[in-house]
Structure 1
Amino acid sequence: MPSTSPHVAAVASSPDHEFSKQVSASVRVVAGHGVVGDTHAGVTVQHRSRVRADPTQPNLRQVHLIHAELFDELAAAGFDVSPGDLGENVTTRGVDLLGLPRGTRLAIGPEVVLEVTGLRNPCQQINDFQAGLLKQVVVPDGAGGVVRKAGVMTVVEQGGTITAGDDVVVHLPDAPHEALAPV
């Protein structure tokens, strides 16, 4: 029977700068670095556009998480998106990732702690993956802004192995809470 508590639905990584990542049984993460063997792991920025701008910037995007509920929403809108397809390393279920404040710590399984740094800022590559998908993950908020639904970015505070099925425990930072912004 599937878990109903907040948990990891899938994990993925890729050694290459490709849009999607390959799902696997588990990934290993290293504190201050990211997913072992993943192209986006590192102490400094690894995303190509950010490296071009300033390769000395700290990497606030070591591990990318997306909520599986987004895939359910996209399926209802006619899109076929599975774990790893949007480039995330960890797919969760039962965690309101987009509602978390900056600095939230996510305890995953028996070892890993990730700290939420901000939102993923979806780009045109999402439309290259599936036409029209960008309009599903960046939507108007009704107040002149936009809601970015493509997950959150984190840094690894405590390393270990993340496996599909691991529980996720949310530890909010002390108030006042800072809303997430793109990183």
Structure 2
Amino acid sequence: MDATAVNGTVTAVSSNGVYSFTKPNRESITLLAGLGVEGDVHAGVTVKHRSRVAQDPTQPNLRQVHLIHEELFDEVAEDGFRVTPGDLGENVTTRGIDLLALPVGTLLHLGDEAIVEVTGLRNPCVQIDNFQDGLLKRVVSRDESGALIRKAGIMSVVRQGGTVHPGALIRITLPTGPHRALDRV
């Protein structure tokens, strides 16, 4: 697939240099190839998320950049939840792309420079209920067959660095080969 077609937009960018559930919005973020968001607590070659570090601190960091589709905020608002960009700890908030339907290995071109490769789904945790009681049940559900559906965004690694800002256009390059559905990372 050619990456010339615009598929969506960055609506917000967020980062935080200390561990906290939410991340403040920024005018821009800088993505560093192989590391993540410059100055963000989750940047690095190896895992930085506390639960992953506790399991094995040497495993590769497949969660360098967290993206969430802003349409999720509209969906949970129907049940009375108020969620805004950065509230769920994401680095990039998007609009116009069904992030959850993308296959593993998809390249997202964020603006003119930065490229991230999709690695999998965010695994929502109890911290979401600590943020707003009952929200976890809205971002995790089950389909008709009982399979878990995770809606709290996707994770990626930085393949090409660059600056990303709100309003940046997003282009998608799908991987070659069969579609590999996203799973938690």
With the length of structure 2 as denominator, give the TM-score of the two structures: 0.96
For 1:128, give the aligned amino acid. Answer: N
For 2:134, give the aligned amino acid. Answer: G
Counterpart of 1:140? 142
Counterpart of 2:101? 99
Q: Please report how far the alpha carbon of residue 77 of structure 1 lies from its aligned counterpart in structure 2 after TM superposition.
A: 1.2
Q: Please report how far the alpha carbon of residue 20 of structure 1 lies from its aligned counterpart in structure 2 after TM superposition.
A: 0.2
Q: Please report how far the alpha carbon of residue 175 of structure 1 lies from its aligned counterpart in structure 2 after TM superposition.
A: 2.1
Q: Please report how far the alpha carbon of residue 5 of structure 1 lies from its aligned counterpart in structure 2 after TM superposition.
A: 5.6
Runs of at least 4 residues off by over 6 Å: none
* RMSD over aligned Cα atoms: 0.9
What is the CA–CA distance in structure 2 between the aligned matches of 1:36 and 1:6, rounded to whole Å? 23
For 2:75, give the aligned amino acid. Answer: E
Determine helix, strand or coil for the equivalent of 1:127: helix
Q: 2:156 aligns with which of 154, 157, 160?
A: 154
Counterpart of 1:38? 40
What is the CA–CA distance in structure 2 between the aligned matches of 1:77 and 1:147, rounded to whole Å? 18
Determine helix, strand or coil for the equivalent of 1:79: coil
Counterpart of 2:124? 122
What is the CA–CA distance in structure 2 between the aligned matches of 1:26 and 1:76, rounded to whole Å? 30
Q: Please report how far the alpha carbon of residue 76 of structure 1 lies from its aligned counterpart in structure 2 after TM superposition.
A: 1.2
For 2:97, give the aligned amino acid. Answer: V
Number of residue equivalences: 180
Report sequence identity in percent. Answer: 61
Determine helix, strand or coil for the equivalent of 1:6: strand
Structure 2 residue runs of 5 or longer lacking an equivalent are 1-5
With the length of structure 1 as denominator, give the TM-score of the two structures: 0.97
Structure 1 residue runs of 5 or longer lacking an equivalent are none
